[in-house]
Amino acid sequence: MKLGNFEAVIFDMDGVLIDSEPLWKIAMEEVFKSVGCPLTKKDFQKTVGLRIDEVIEFWFQEIGWNNVSPKEVENKIIDRMIALISEHGKPLKGVLETLDFLRSKNIKIGLGTSSYSVLIEAVLNTLKIAGKFDFVHSAEDEKYGKPHPAVYLTVAENLEVSPRKCLVIEDSLNGIISGKAAQMKVVCIPEKTHNPEPKLSISDWMFEDMNQFLSSFR
């Protein structure tokens, strides 16, 4: 891997910048249980990488519940996530060092995530990294979320960088597919709380953590 091949690095957020996947599982398990939908953390493996509205629609069709709309469930989960992020959020290993290194090399830095803007704000403020990104974008503003490539293509366009000159950093299969479909190269740093997913090998490179990724350039 040569850094000179890229003009921009675009990060996913959940599971890449912040160890938020366990927090998502806590929030979803609590809220779904409160509306009479007895899902467990293991169930959420099926919806990794989807927007939260897509996750809720999936389980509403799969199992369903009464007396509460999907939008109300969504709002409850978002509110709980904001609280959990504020209380427990911290950057994953190597994230701060990687952002500073890319900035020192004049590489443009983008963020393309399935999470809503209100959650992006909570994460960036909690981790104190809001000023490190040249452009931040949520798939909530796209017609389709990941694995559709729209969110990454929009980031590249706003960074004024060709997709072929962008490197995506992802942790999920849906995210990898999204980046590849955008004709970008993709690094995978697998999220550690999920079951091993052999299909993650479709990424161009795989690393144990962000420090290992950073070491590949030094």
Report the chain's C-alpha Rg in angstroms: 17
Q: Please identify which residue in the block is written with the tokens 């939908």.
A: 37
Please name the helix (run of DSSP H) or strand (run of DSSP E) that holds residue 151, with its range, or none: helix 150-159
- Is 204 part of the annotated catalytic residue set? no
Q: For residue 159, which of 11, 1, 4 has the smallest C-alpha distance?
A: 11
Q: Which of 12, 53, 100, 204 is catalytic?
A: 12
Please name the helix (run of DSSP H) or strand (run of DSSP E) that holds residue 29, with its range, or none: helix 21-34
Measured at the alpha carbon of residue 164, what is the angle toward residues 159 and 166, in degrees to the nearest 5? Answer: 45
Q: Please identify which residue in the block is written with the tokens 């409160």.
A: 34
- Is 12 part of the annotated catalytic residue set? yes
Q: Which of 14, 53, 134, 171 is catalytic?
A: 14
Torsion 184-187-193-199 (CA) sign:
positive
Task: Say how far residue 187 (Cα) sits from the centre of its chain.
Answer: 13
Active site residues: 12, 14
